[in-house]
């Protein structure tokens, strides 16, 4: 049975649509927090085992509060694995990195961060030591090793 979409207003024109794009029978919920005016889109896909948060575009001080709202609204501090993907992120300033560190402090064992080696922002993670501190992965496939629901995710994305 498909999940019905539910809108959550997150301020500054942002919107989270829970259940949009759900896969029938898979227990998978997808949504998008977006505001094209500020250059950031946050896509969220989740089920009981994993939450994937994709950061698409530029993440900076003008929109980092929306990402924090996603972290807060999704209750990412539970026992499921949380993958934050920077695969499609084109810019991330210190405020974005700071929010990621705060999230890591809350849910360190469950957090997996994806920043491809050839990404324009990987160097920032390397220079600041966050690649080691956060245990950064090169791809979603690497970050999701050992999670039994991987096959479902590739179909949904």
User: What mean pLDDT is predicted for residues 130-142?
Assistant: 93
What pLDDT does residue 22 have?
A: 38
* CA–CA distance, 55 with 69 (Å, rounded to integer): 13
* CA–CA distance, 82 with 76 (Å, rounded to integer): 7
User: What mean pLDDT is predicted for residues 120-133?
Assistant: 94
- pLDDT for residue 109 is more than 50: yes
Share of the chain above pLDDT 70, in %: 67
Phi, psi for residue 150 in degrees, rounded to 5:
-55, -40
pTM of this structure? 0.77
- Output 98-104 pairs: Cβ under 8 A, ≥24 positions apart: 98/64, 99/64, 99/67, 99/68, 99/71, 100/130, 100/134, 101/130, 101/133, 101/134, 103/71, 103/76, 104/133, 104/134
Q: Comparing C-alpha atoms, which of 144, 17, 31 is closest to residue 87?
A: 144
The arrangement of secondary structure in 6-156, i.e. its CATH architecture, is 2-Layer Sandwich (3.30)
pLDDT tens sequence across 17-64: 444 443 333 455 666 555 556 788 888 887 778 888 999 999 999 999
Q: Are 110 and 137 in contact (CB under 8 A)?
A: no
Strands (E), 69-146: 81-92, 111-114
Q: Label residue 76 by pLDDT band (50, 70, 90).
A: low
- pLDDT for residue 107 is more than 90: no
Q: Label residue 85 by pLDDT band (50, 70, 90).
A: very high
Q: Which residue has the tokens 């009981």?
A: 48
Phi, psi for residue 4 in degrees, rounded to 5:
-80, 135
């Amino acid at each position: 049975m498909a999940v019905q979409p539910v809108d959550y207003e997150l301020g500054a024109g942002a919107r989270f649509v829970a259940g949009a794009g759900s896969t029938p029978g898979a227990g998978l919920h997808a949504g998008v927090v977006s505001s094209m005016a500020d250059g950031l889109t946050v896509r969220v896909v989740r089920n009981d085992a994993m939450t994937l948060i994709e950061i698409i575009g530029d993440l900076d001080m003008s929109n980092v509060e929306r990402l924090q709202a996603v972290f807060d609204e999704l209750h990412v501090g539970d026992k499921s694995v949380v993958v934050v993907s920077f695969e499609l992120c084109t810019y991330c300033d210190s405020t974005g990195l700071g929010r990621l560190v705060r999230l890591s402090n809350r849910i360190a064992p469950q957090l997996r961060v994806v920043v491809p080696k050839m990404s324009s922002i990987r160097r920032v993670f390397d220079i600041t030591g966050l690649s080691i501190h956060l245990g950064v992965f090169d791809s979603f496939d690497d970050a999701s090793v050992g999670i039994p629901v991987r096959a479902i995710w590739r179909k949904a994305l």
